[in-house]
Amino acid sequence: MPPGSPAEAQLEINELRDLLGPEVANAGDFTNREALTSLIEGGHAGLLHFACHNAFSRSGSRVHMADGHFTPRDLATAAQTRSLRAHQPLVFFNACRSAGEIPWFSDTLGWAQKFLTAGAGAFIGTLWPVRSDSAMQFAKTFYGQLLDAGQPLGQASLAARQAIRDLDGDPTWLAYAVYGSPAATAATRGVS
């Protein structure tokens, strides 16, 4: 987990690990940009979950890591080689404005576009700043529905929205953008 992540981030990660169980490989917490980029370029992940702060400006997104900023441009090699194609991981970027994009030459640049080009099967991010407690509850409900209840991506994300919809007038429930087939399901058992 990057330095300066929200207080709820570690709790969110721990709950996800508990839900996935010990039989699912855990690559650990990443605080180093170079190590994270190597993991992504290696293409062996089935799930990439980010619980951190994402800084978004006119120059794009960035996550502060111990060895510098991790940006969508760091995914250029993964996108060119489509390194995530074999396992088509779900990438859940639970951070403020992580689904935001900027104009980039004749295209756009953002986390979703780069991860999907690299071969991710689905991407979840937010379109504006979100409250950490609401974001954690969204993730907890989403994974509970996707993994425990066996619901497809569309139904799991709908259930997560509904779970946080009435939290003190907080619009976080509307912030999530889900890229991927609404009928996609998770394979967590018997996958090598």
CATH of the domain at 115: 3.40.50.1460
185 part of a folded domain? no
191 part of a folded domain? no
Least Cα distance to 33 among 75, 61, 89, 5 occurs for 75
pLDDT of residue 188: 65
Least Cα distance to 127 among 170, 176, 162, 92 occurs for 176
1 part of a folded domain? no
49 part of a folded domain? yes
pLDDT of residue 96: 97
pLDDT of residue 24: 76
Phi, psi of 187 (to 5 degrees): -110, 110
Q: What does the block give as tokens for 87?
A: 């396992």
CA pseudo-torsion sign 90, 186, 176, 104? positive
Separation of alpha carbons 61 and 70, rounded Å: 8
* Distances in whole angstroms, Cα of residue 22 to Cα of each of 6, 117, 178, 189: 25, 30, 27, 11
189 part of a folded domain? no
148 part of a folded domain? yes
Number of structural domains in the chain:
1
H helix and E strand count, the chain:
7, 9
Separation of alpha carbons 141 and 156, rounded Å: 8
Strand, coil or helix: 179: strand
Print pLDDT tens along the chain (192 aa): 788 899 899 999 999 999 888 877 788 889 999 999 999 999 999 999 999 999 999 999 999 999 999 999 999 999 999 999 999 999 999 999 999 999 999 888 999 999 999 999 999 999 999 999 999 999 999 999 999 999 999 999 999 999 999 998 899 999 999 999 999 999 865 444
In b/e form, how buried is each residue of 71-90, taking b as 16+ CB within 10 angstroms?
Answer: bbebbeebbeeebbeebbbb
pLDDT of residue 41: 98
pLDDT of residue 178: 99
Residue 171, domain extent: 7-179
pLDDT of residue 122: 98
Separation of alpha carbons 129 and 52, rounded Å: 12
32 part of a folded domain? yes
52 part of a folded domain? yes
